[in-house]
Structure 1
Amino acid sequence: LGVLRNTVNVSGNRPDGASMATVSYTKDIPLSVVALLSAVKSTTATSIISAGQQVPYRVTVANTGNAAISNLTVADPLVGMALSSGDINGNMKLDVGETWTYTGTYTVLQSDIDNYGNPLATGVLRNTAIVAGKAPNSSDVGTSTNTVTLPLSAVTSFSLSKSSPVTVISSVGQLVPYTVTVRNTGNTAISNIVVSDPMISTVLTSGDANGNGKLDVGETWTYNGTYAVKQSDIDNNGSPAASGYLINTVSASGRKPDGTTAGTLSYSKDIQVVLLTSLNVVKSSTLTSITSAGQQVPYTITVRNTGNAAISSVAVNDPMISTALASGDSNGNMKLDVGETWTYTGTYTVKQSDIDNNGNTPVLGVLRNTVNVSGNRPDGASMATVSYTKDIPLSVVALLSA
């Protein structure tokens, strides 16, 4: 092997006609056998953006030597490559000048993105094709290796929302159910999801379908919790105070596949606080009739908060007596709290004119005393004045002696 051999044979006859022995000569010319191939791998894709993405690959193998190559193999660790064209004569040899084309498609895995590349943490999808074959003398043709590297776009993002079916806050102890949803809007899984709510304890109720503890691409996790309205929420006209709303802000955070933070999002749900302020005022006296000037008439005034919010700056105005708060402000906060009843007392001294005029109003025959009570709502607005009138009959006895 390895030569071009040419043998010549010469024969003839002697003068007597007998044949001469054949004379041979062989000439060997060394052969220069060059078995070479080149391989190029390519793809029409420009980047990796999502799991399930189809990445088409093409490998072209050309015979660049002067001898046919047999037993051609194309090895690809990611893709099964299939011969699609090139073996024109069907002899299963890569003949001189031939170019064979192999094709295959890779389906991007979620792990490729979550691991930030393949190989791990490289930021790229790297695919290498190895092409080999046999020379005519069955020796190995030098291996041709070609690599295609595609940049990987890893986008870690999520959305956060909070909702409640309750539209207004109107009473202490009112239960306000909240639903918090966290959705993966990127292309990588998010780990270490933490939902923080300063007002309620949230519980994951659904969403982690595969139970891997990661917010996978496209998953939505749902958390639930319930808040019980406090009297202070209403008395302070909201939480924060003076806002007019029950404002509940939830935050959520997580981590990217490489362990770095995925950021923190916040979402606030505002529910209006409705102030229903009302007073009940009653004025009474233990005296049942007026009989003489100088008579002492004791009055008791009760002011009860019948609404849903504390009332400040309570003012009791009685034109006939000086009133003093006797009891009711149990916590000493100077606010008429919900359900509290404040009691005021005062005494009137009957005048001679009350009797001489048969009363102190156009309505004859009674001693009329009207009290007016006012106050302010938690939002600072003045409440409508509430009045109560107490009439005590006069016993007028006109006598004379002569």
Structure 2
Amino acid sequence: AANDTNGDGFPEAGETVTYTFSVKNTGNIRLENVKINDSYIGVVNLAIVPSTLDPGQTGNAQVTYTITQIDIQNGVIYNSALGQGNTPPTVDDPDGTTVNDTSKDPTNPSTPGDPYYDPTCPDCTVVPLPNNPKIAIVKEIASFSGDINNAKVGDVISYLFTVTNIGNTVLTNVRVTDPMPGLSTPSLDPADVANSTGDLDGNGSLDLHEKWLYRANYTITTSDIAKGKVVNQALAEATGPPTPVDPTGKDVSDLSDGSSPTGDDPTVLDINGCKVIAHNALSPNGDSKNDIFKIDGIECYPQNTVEIYNRWGVIVFHTNGYDNTANAFNGYSNGRAVVKQSAGLPTGTYYYIIKYVDSDSKEQSSAGYLYLSMQ
């Protein structure tokens, strides 16, 4: 098994595997200059101790191999060694005889049907290197064009996405989707993303520890203002390399967090903009100033009712769906108790009642006095 130097539970390039070699003289004559060759791990003419073996004697050697990123991508190391020795010269064999044998691993767990079994090298030493493909996405609020304490329809939130490869393998088919209406779907193709920065390959892949940055904008709607916040999460997805365990590669994903690569909390922007505030004076004299009874925030709650009463408690104006434009009080009555509805109401103080259903489907109300000047 790999030596997990950093203790994270997964092998990484730069960590090591320790190989122990044992060579036994199974013949009936002494072997000299016994050595080992293993091309995969770079062992050439490695001498064992002792290097001369009498019949039945065993020699040993140990080598530390440094894992490469290619090994990690493959998800496994297959290798075999060649043990070699020479018999001493004799009258009949003055040069001696070279004997050799290919290694076998008695602890090799792979058998036919096992994902790590390689029929081309059934006796290979097998070191599984479990892949750990991981992706992380952070979706931050980079800027807000308006005032969060007085947000308006049309204000823009600028989001910054940071997609990072935090695993131990290269990721391919990297993609980011965002369900927020009107928000561009991020892509890892620089040809399609003019504002991208970072180390991009242009092929939808992320190398180890690479980051990909992207900005996208979202425009505030009436519904957002009514809710008092904008809540959203993006999704990053990718595929790890094919391995014996995952022949097609392991699919990984991550929901965005507002600040941390390891978190999964939605990105939230709290805004104020739907406070119902009635302006308590109007003067509909045609100067385009205070010509209507203005109720800030009422457009956020289309399910509303506005009533206005005169000093004697007689209703002089009533409407549903007040909107500050086409459906608004401009000093003229529509109350049935008024004799001449088309005539402007007299200057004076009136009483209003505003009722509306909020974003939580709860009925709210406010009331107060309104001064009307018809001069």
Query: TM-score over 0.5 for the alignment?
Result: yes
Match among 104, 123, 134 for residue 157 of structure 1: 134
TM-score of the superposed pair, with normalisation by structure 1: 0.60
Aligned-pair CA distance for 1:203: 5.6
Q: Deviations over 1:66-94 (max 9, x none)?
A: 4333564422122233336424xxxxx55
Match of 2:173 in 1: 192
Match of 2:368 in 1: 385
Structure whose residues are more often strand by fraction: 1
The higher radius of gyration belongs to 1
* One-letter amino acid of the counterpart of residue 262, structure 1: D
Structure 1 position 251 matched with structure 2 position 235: yes
Match among 306, 321, 335 for residue 314 of structure 1: 306
Structure 1 position 54 matched with structure 2 position 16: yes
Gaps of at least 5 residues in structure 1 are: 1-42, 88-92, 118-124, 239-243, 287-299, 351-366, 393-402
Separation in 2, partners of 1:269, 1:308: 27
Gaps of at least 5 residues in structure 2 are: 106-124, 189-195, 243-247, 257-265, 341-345
* One-letter amino acid of the counterpart of residue 271, structure 1: L
Aligned-pair CA distance for 1:387: 0.9
Match among 101, 104, 111 for residue 143 of structure 1: 101
Separation in 2, partners of 1:218, 1:130: 38
Aligned-pair CA distance for 1:342: 4.2
Structure 1 position 233 matched with structure 2 position 217: no
Match of 1:86 in 2: 50
> Do the aligned residues in 2 keep the contact of 1:336 with 1:342 (CA within 8 Å)?
no
Aligned-pair CA distance for 1:373: 2.9
TM-score of the superposed pair, with normalisation by structure 2: 0.64
Match of 1:374 in 2: 353
> Do the aligned residues in 2 keep the contact of 1:324 with 1:346 (CA within 8 Å)?
yes
Match of 2:164 in 1: 183
Match of 1:363 in 2: none
Identity of aligned residues (%): 25
Separation in 2, partners of 1:245, 1:339: 28
Match of 2:68 in 1: 109
- How many residues align? The count is 296
Match of 1:20 in 2: none
**Superposition CA RMSD, Å:** 3.9
Separation in 2, partners of 1:85, 1:369: 112
SS at match of 1:111: helix
Q: Deviations over 1:77-121 (max 9, x none)?
A: 22233336424xxxxx5565765443332211222222222xxxx
Match among 258, 264, 267 for residue 269 of structure 1: 267
1:200-349 to 2 correspondence within 5 Å? 200-201=183-184, 202=186, 205-208=196-199, 213-234=204-225, 237-238=226-227, 244-258=228-242, 259-267=248-256, 268-274=266-272, 275-280=274-279, 282=281, 302-307=292-297, 309-310=299-300, 312-319=304-311, 323=316, 334-337=321-324, 342-346=329-333
Separation in 2, partners of 1:334, 1:308: 9
